[in-house]
Amino acid sequence: MEDDRFHYPPELFSQLVDAIPLLCKSKKDTLLFFRGAGMSASMMFEVEEAFNADRNALNKFEMTRRLLTRLNELGDGALKVRRELVRRVVEFEDFTRCWESDVLKAKGLVAEIRHTVQVKDSFTRMNQAREQAEDTLKAERERQRQAQLVQARARRERIAGAKTRLFAVFAETDPHRRGKALEGALNGLFAAYEILVEEDFRRIADDGGVMEQIDGVIEVNDETFLVEMKWWSSAMGPAELAQHMSRTLLRPGVCGLFISNSGYTPAALDACRDFLQHRLLVLCTLQEIVALLEREDDLVGFIRAKARAAKLHKKPFKEMLSAADLQPVR
């Protein structure tokens, strides 16, 4: 396995070993070439010591190989020298300083090194561009993740606030105030789940009077539901549901959602089942919503499951007090 400290690629290393000795007439010129690139005396100590002890011990090629190997061994500490050495070779133009017999070969080797460096630089730039793109993508993903976490936390806080507001309704003893409080609390819950379209919807007559008032409007699965909420002491019968059915029929493609504190009579369930031939109507109890909030379940999934039971199995009221109840009807 190649040592990570070696920064000259093998091809470039070999080309430099072949070229530098041809660019320098003497061994002393070779040492000066390296020293001019910035190699310090300590970096060149072993080679210079061998040269001073016996000038015939090393030829120019062996001197060059040892000095280049030393530069590679020094890792990042010699990065500046390695770059300067390559620059001096690729910018070399005065071939009159070479032995006449070496000029053509030296020119060819310098040209090869220029090509290698250009390819290497292009590859490096591509890698840098790719790494920069990856870093940008990672940063964007992290930004999105953080934004999602912030949104999720804000959503949980909104739902918790709506839950507190709804539970406070149970402490209200005045029937009128309790009815209005229930309407506001449930609309706040729909808003927390981001499905509320409009609350306390009113249709105004030409004379300014209120022709019609609907407790709320929500959207789930691209379906619009008119919402009616009632807190009565007795179960809802057909008569209490009739007005809400009429309101849905007057609006093409609109569905109905009825929420009752006191449940529904068998006659009301029969009437709603027959009504499913004309329009989707979903019946719900306040107890189901409280159970959903206590187990911290999904209100949107809850309404989808209720609508599915009404559409597929003609059950406008399939009581769902647990997560298991939300599974498809068998």
Residue-wise pLDDT tens digits, 18-55: 999 999 999 999 999 999 999 999 999 999 999 899 98
Q: Which amino acid is at 229?
A: M
Q: Which of 122-136, 154-168, 248-262, 278-292 has the lowest mean pLDDT?
A: 122-136
If you average pLDDT over residues 162-182, what whole number do you get? 87
Would the pLDDT of 198 be above 90? no
Q: 317 pLDDT band (50/70/90 cuts)?
A: very high
Could you give the CA distance from residue 211 to residue 265 in angstroms, rounded to a whole number? 28
In whole angstroms, what is the distance from residue 90 CA to residue 107 CA?
10
Answer yes or no: is pLDDT of 291 > 80: yes
DSSP 112-125: HHHHHHHHHHHHHH
Structure tokens at 124: 């490096």
Strands 196-204 and 255-260, bridge-based pairing: unpaired
Residues 6+ apart with CB under 8 A from 79: 7
pTM: 0.56
pLDDT value at 123 more than 60: no
Cβ distance 201 to 214 under 8 Å? yes
Q: Is residue 252 a contact partner of residue 128, using CB atoms and an 8 Å limit?
A: no
Tokens 């107890």 correspond to what residue?
287
Q: What's the confidence (pLDDT) of residue 115?
A: 84
3 state SS of 50: helix
Q: Specify whether the CB–CB gap between 189 and 196 falls below 8 A.
A: no
Check if the beta carbon of residue 217 is closer than 8 Å to that of residue 202. no
